[in-house]
Structures are given as C-alpha cells and as structure tokens.
Structure 1
Amino acid sequence: MDRPTTPAETWRELRRGNERFTAGAPEHPRQDIDRRTALANTQAPLVAVFGCSDSRLAAEIIFDVGLGDAFVVRNAGQVVTPSALGSLEYAVGLLNVPLIIVLAHDQCGAVRAAIDSQAADAPPLPPHIAGLVEAIVPAVRKVAGADDGAVIESAHVDAGFVGREHLRNTVTGLVDGSEMISDAIAAGTLAIVGANYRLFEGRVETDIVIGRI
C-alpha cells in the first residue's frame, strides 16, 4: 500500500484492514524479514492505538497491519494516565502519526470492576487496580443516574453503556490533557477516533470522532 498521510486516509486504510480480519481473510502485511530489517534503525508508524490491555485486543491483528505500523499504548480500561499521555505525545510530536485510535471493547473487566466497586458491599480493591478503576467510576455513576456517594445496584447498570461513556471520557481526556494533541487536531494534522471492538464479530465500530476524517 502507499503510505497514508492524512487522518482520513489512515482511518480508511485501517478500516479496510479490519474488514479483512472480520471476513477471515487477513493479509498479514509487512511481517517478513525484509520489513524487520528495514525497521531496525527507524520507525514511522501509521497510527497510535490507545487500548485496553485485554489479551483479545491485539491492534496489529485486528487492523491487519504489520511491524512498525502501529504505535500501541495499553492499560486496563484505556485509562488516561500521565504515562499514556506522554507516550501518545511522543507518537504525535516525534513520530508524526496522523491518527489516534482509542480502542475499547465489550465485556471489559475494568468496566465491570468499576460497576461492582460502587455496590454497598463491594470489597476493597488492591490499590493500583483501584487507581485505574476509579477513573471509570464517573461513567458508572452517570449511566446509573446516581449522585456522588449514593449506593448503586450494580446488577442494574448496563456495562455496555458504561463502556461507551468511559470511551468518550477517555477521548475528551486526551484532548483536554495534552496541548500538543489538541493543537495538532486544530491544525488538521491529527484526528482521534474512539471505537468499540466487538469480541465475537471482530468488528471495530466508530463511536466518536474528534478532528477531520
């Protein structure tokens, strides 16, 4: 393929890759010895992917791309942290990626943990896990329509709605948290796509876009 250079071209290329993966006809491009050798001293990724650490969310496979194509940043629940922001700024500012994909998915354990953490009898979480889960709690409480401090009946909260709300919070958090990212979007050289990955179908579904694609 000719290397895409704009946010729109890049998103189209990645959607085509996901369509191949979904159809069971991936090409596994740019994964040979020549590609590995060519990348030994340089990298120029097409896209930065900020996704959940879930083992079923391998970006290179989902989008059917190769070595050096995706600059991937992951943590449980794709929570905006200083390290995540710094890594994405590196991709935008030094590697000049034209697109950031924030990739959420259904059946997310971090989302489930955030919902369960708001129940009256919720056991305490280990501190580092609690720090990640806490970032998802605002989405839980918004979906549940609960005021701060109110007990939530976790069984009645739709995890899909929480995941989508948290995805949107993550996308806006990247823009609000990084002047470099927001400036690149304003200049038209960068866009962010917030998307949900459907585990069973293998399909990536667009949910929110910031920038021009």
Structure 2
Amino acid sequence: MVSRRILLGALASGFAAPVMAWAEGDAPSILTRKGRRTRRALKTQATDKAALDKALGQVKPLEAPEPVEAAQVVAPQRVSPDEALGRLKQGNTIFSRGGASIALPGAARIAELAAGQQPFAVIVGCSDSRVAPELIFDCNLGELFVVRVAGSTVSQEGLGSIVYAVEHLNAPLVVVLGHSQCGAVGAAVDVATRHAELHGALLNMVLPILPAVMEAQDRHPADLQDAAIHQNVRDVAARLKVADGLLAERIGEGRLKVVSACYNLATAQVEFDA
C-alpha cells in the first residue's frame, strides 16, 4: 500500500491515473496492449505540454501606451470673467441637483496638464472638508486654482498664490468662498461676544475674521455667525481688489473679476454676491 503523501504528490504532478493504478496493484506493463496505450497517452501529454510552452514563449507582454505629445493636445480657449463665473454657477447647479458629471481625466488630459495649467478661476476657500471646490462646482483636474485656509482669509502667502494664478496662469476670476456653519467664524464670534480664550495659532487664525464679526454685530442680526460669515468673505474680496497693483490693473481693464460667495452645507447651493 502506498502512503498518502506519495498519492497527493502524484496527483499534484498531473500523473494521477498511472500512479493510482500502481497503488491499487494494477499498474499496466509496457509490454501489454494496455501498457502501450498508456505510454502513448503520456507521450501525447508531453508533446502537448511542449507545444503549450512554446506558444506561451511567443506571447509578447502588453506594451505601454505611447506618450501623448504636447503638439497633439489643443489648449483650451481662454474665457472672460463673466463666462468663468457662469461656468461656476452652472457647475454648482448641477452638483446641488445631484447630477455631478465629474469623470476621471484620461491619458491625454493628464499629459496636457503635465505640460502646463490654465485654470479658469481661483477659489479662495475654507479648509472645511465638506466644501471641496472641485466637487461643488462640478469641475475637474486643472480647472480651478484653489487657495484654502480655515475661515477663507488671505495671508501674504495666499495673496502671492492668487497673484501668481492671475499673472502667470491668466485666471480671469477670483471667488472668495465662505460656507454656512463655518467653525473658524464661529470661534471668532465666541472671542468677540463671550471673550473665549484661544491660544497660539488658533488665535492667529481668527484675528483676521474679528473685524467682520464686529461689523456684523453692529447690525444686530438674528444669526450673528451667519451674518459674520457673509461679511467676512465680502471684506476679503474687497481687500483683494486693492491688495496688489496687478490685480487692480486687471480689474480696471476688465480682464479680472473678484467676487464673494457662500456655500450652504444643507442645500449644496452657492449664493454669489455678483
């Protein structure tokens, strides 16, 4: 009787039938007719295996797609400030209705973006994870130049980023985007009305928002936080218009528009001030 290990090894090697017969004491002799049939069968298996190995050796690996040359890519036509604003409004309408049409960029678009970018708008937004500009405006890779910080404020570094997008990338539109229930503005309201204590970087984050809170507070609104959110983005947009000579020049020439807007977390709609 043959051991179980030998049987399993034989089964794994593909010669189950002859070994099983041998294990049962009925192994065919190569001198008998049955033995000659078995030998021919084994020879045929070996021939088939050799043919298969030869065929596999002739299979070529998949070739990588040829790179798209820059000359094959047509650069998008530049748009006016009003056209850019219209695209954002249309995109938000699509998103708020649940019909976002964003598709992953293909190889041609990725190759085009590797050669350069031409965003049609700059979005100065809040870092809130629920307010991703590319999503809420139904835009794709390379269409928006985004500067984000909690509270939608602009530092000198942020201003430099905006100027770069306008001067070197020819972006015709800057949108300062706030949103409902903004935590940074809420913290500024607490500092102004309840004397809440913030430390270090958190205090520095809300300091630029405090003037908007004080201005909104003078109007005694029913919802101070909401009023301060709208006032804050209006103030930031107004300051951007005169913060840099290039921006002021482009605005005067009609080549640039700076507007403020607020995104409603509940409705997914953006309310523009222009």
2:214 aligned partner: 141
Q: Can you give the 5+ residue segments of structure 2 that lack an aligned partner in the other structure?
A: 1-75
| Contact 1:106/1:199 (8 A) holds in 2 | yes
Q: Which has the larger radius of gyration?
A: 2
Equivalent in 118, 123, 126 of residue 192 of structure 2: 118
Equivalent in 87, 92, 102 of residue 176 of structure 2: 102
TM-score, normalised on structure 1? 0.87
Higher RCO (C-alpha under 8 Å, 6+ residues apart)? 1
| Contact 1:197/1:205 (8 A) holds in 2 | yes
The answer to whether residue 118 in structure 2 is matched with residue 44 in structure 1 is yes
Equivalent in 60, 65, 68 of residue 139 of structure 2: 65
| Contact 1:143/1:157 (8 A) holds in 2 | no
Deviation at 1:40, TM superposition (A): 1.1
Whichever residue aligns with residue 252 of structure 2, its letter is A
Deviation at 1:32, TM superposition (A): 2.9
Following superposition, which runs of at least 4 residues in structure 1 exceed 6 angstroms of deviation? none
Separation in 2 of the partners of 1:50 and 1:15?
16
What is the CA RMSD across the aligned residues, in angstroms?
Answer: 1.9
* Identical-pair percentage: 37
Q: Can you give the 5+ residue segments of structure 1 that lack an aligned partner in the other structure?
A: 147-155
Whichever residue aligns with residue 48 of structure 1, its letter is V
**Matched residue SS, 1:103:** strand
The answer to whether residue 259 in structure 2 is matched with residue 193 in structure 1 is yes
**Structure 2 CA distance for partners of 1:27 and 1:121, relative to 1, 3 Å:** closer
| Contact 1:115/1:157 (8 A) holds in 2 | no
**Structure 2 CA distance for partners of 1:118 and 1:24, relative to 1, 3 Å:** same
2:90 aligned partner: 16
Equivalent in 165, 187, 202 of residue 91 of structure 1: 165
| Contact 1:30/1:65 (8 A) holds in 2 | no
Separation in 2 of the partners of 1:116 and 1:49?
27
**Matched residue SS, 1:44:** coil
**Structure 2 CA distance for partners of 1:46 and 1:29, relative to 1, 3 Å:** farther
| Contact 1:47/1:99 (8 A) holds in 2 | yes
Separation in 2 of the partners of 1:4 and 1:40?
18
**Structure 2 CA distance for partners of 1:21 and 1:157, relative to 1, 3 Å:** closer
**Matched residue SS, 1:26:** coil
User: Number of aligned pairs?
Assistant: 198
**Structure 2 CA distance for partners of 1:120 and 1:48, relative to 1, 3 Å:** closer
| Higher alpha-carbon deviation: 61-70 or 25-34 | 25-34
Greater helix share, structure number: 2
**Structure 2 CA distance for partners of 1:18 and 1:129, relative to 1, 3 Å:** same
| Contact 1:7/1:98 (8 A) holds in 2 | yes
Greater strand share, structure number: 1
Separation in 1 of the partners of 2:243 and 2:87?
28
What do the CA deviations read for 1:163-207 (whole angstroms, capped 9, x no partner)?
111111100111121111111100100001210001111111112
Whichever residue aligns with residue 176 of structure 1, its letter is V
